[in-house]
Amino acid sequence: MSYLVNPLRDPAWRPESGLEAQARELHESLPGYAPTPLHDLPSLAAELGLGRVLLKDESSRFGLPAFKALGAFWAAHWALAGRDPATLTLAAATEGNHGRAVARAAKLLGARAHIVIPAHTSPARAAAIAQEGAHVERIDGGYEDAVAHAARLAAGDVLVISDTSWPGYEEIPARVVEGYATMFAEIDVPVDLVVVPIGVGSLAAAAARHFRAGPGDGPFLLGLEPADAACALESARSGRLTTVPGPMRSTMAGLNCAEPSPAAWPLLAAAYDAFCAIDDAHVDWGMRRLASEGLDRGATSGGVVGGLRAHRASLPLPEDATALLILTEGVTDPAVFQAAVGRPHRTV
């Protein structure tokens, strides 16, 4: 368990304008669009010594159990503009949620999907992607190996829709970040703290762009990572983009990333006040605590709750502060949920 005040924080930093408004317009035009819930948990707030704890609940977004559709739908729509979808394949690497969202985008747009998954991806996550009609390719190696493999698939009829960047490949990841902004635009409550899971950093970059766009310092931004995949924390500590060695075994599968996206990292470095890391004991506690409130949610959602509890004492916040926690996923791996909570996931 680690906590680091970000030595790279730049209070003067403000984001450049992007295409967030166009992305939100697209989302609002799609069948099934609705703002996701914002739960208020007074019992958890009292337990953590805070005035309010608000949970932005992304467990059902366009019928998928995670927020990823926001980025995938906008990036795919942008990439396919003026082209015949029937002649194209959308490719992506994933630990589960992003790939499923890209596969759904391909199906909606009339394209094919080729999704690359690391060796350790759970059968449940792989099956969910396949159910979207995608070709699922499991490769040897971890997430970064899957990203490299997906990148090599790029061709005239194959468009890679990645949420992480590499040299020469920045536009699509930028569209993904813009798509995620819709989530934050739906929140109209002033907050003092935002806890955001990081992974490669695209969601965290969207939060940075939203909460640092106005005057003043804005809320305290806290990035959360697994203890053995704390690539943003270690990058902040070293003052440069850093790759962590692993092995990465957290049940927060989407956060098991060795290095932040190069395009996202400068935003995280400038905008985030602190980074923290937790082990799976805190993740499991968070899943159990959410379940006690009638919210069966996945490991990454449990992680932001458990992470706030683990690091509350380090946060420079008064007892009347309002905390916003981003619950990024529902139960995407039933076996992980049952092991943590002690019962099967209850579907509604």
The predicted structure's pLDDT at residue 347: 78
Residue range 69-162 forms a domain whose CATH class is alpha beta
Q: Indicate yes or no: pTM above 0.85.
A: yes
Residue ranges of the chain that CATH labels 3.40.50.1100: 2-66+178-341, 69-162
The predicted structure's pLDDT at residue 262: 96
Task: Give residue-wise pLDDT tens across range 265-279.
Answer: 999 999 999 999 999
Task: Output the CA torsion 10→174→202→315 (10° steps).
Answer: 20
- Quick one: what percent of the chain has pLDDT higher than 70? 100
Q: Which one is the CATH code of 2-66+178-341: 3.30.360.10, 3.90.1150.10, 3.40.640.10, 3.40.50.1100?
A: 3.40.50.1100
CA distances from 220 to 57, 88, 274, 313 (A): 20, 42, 8, 14
- Which residue from 300, 306, 348, 325 is spatially nearest to 66, judged by alpha carbons? 300
Cβ contacts of residue 153 below 8 Å, gap of 6+? 91, 114, 116, 160
- Which residue from 30, 56, 1, 53 is spatially nearest to 206, judged by alpha carbons? 56
Per the CB < 8 A criterion, the answer to whether 170 and 57 are in contact is no
Task: Pick left, alpha or beta for residue 169 (phi over 0 → left; psi -120 to 50 → alpha; otherwise beta).
Answer: beta
The predicted structure's pLDDT at residue 216: 85
At residue 80, what is the residue type? Answer: L
State how beta strands 52-57 and 322-327 pair. parallel
Task: Give residue-wise pLDDT tens across range 148-176.
Answer: 999 999 999 999 999 999 999 999 999 99
SS3 at position 162? coil
For residue 186, pLDDT over 90 is answered with yes
User: Within 10 Å of residue 148's Cβ, how many Cβ atoms?
Assistant: 14
Task: Give residue-wise pLDDT tens across range 203-248.
Answer: 999 999 999 998 888 999 999 999 999 999 999 999 999 999 989 9
Local confidence band at 348 (pLDDT 50, 70, 90 cut-offs): low
- The Cα–Cα gap between 63 and 297 comes to 15
Place of tokens 């989407």: 254
